[in-house]
Structure 1
Amino acid sequence: MPNPLPSACALFSCWGRTPRQFFVSRVIRLYPAYWFAVLFTTAALIAVPGVWERLRLREVLLDLTMLQSGSGVPDVDGVY
């Protein structure tokens, strides 16, 4: 059974906030860690050539926006 706690925390964090305030708070919390993970994985792919398929710069930049799935671009790492 999935853990309901993360979903509940996200719902409780929107109480007393406008949709814009909620969106900004989520972006401020999520994007820096996501950017670090994408850039770290990209650096690892560059550092160990031939082991994994390297992505083009356009694909990495699009992945940094979290909009890659809707654009048909593969994830830098499927875990996140």
Structure 2
Amino acid sequence: MPNVANLQNVGDRLYDEALYEAAKIIYAFISNWAKLAVTLVKLKQFQGAVDAARKANSAKTWKEICFACVDAEEFRLAQICGLNILFR
């Protein structure tokens, strides 16, 4: 098949090279919600990160986003994350 790319590897490489906007597009396209959430934290887009974490529905992702929100003093969003960790 022509034009086949391993988008997960491309997204990971972009993330590793701190090209977060490009990684965000790739992760959204392939529906990797956990990686998208972490990438959005790097971009300081905390509401979007919480939305992506909701779609990922992973305790690890919720914890990462929760700690990032607390560090950024986004306490309302951290509360949402914390509740999802507790009642998951």
Q: Larger Rg: 1 or 2? A: 1
TM-score relative to the length of structure 1: 0.29
TM-score relative to the length of structure 2: 0.27
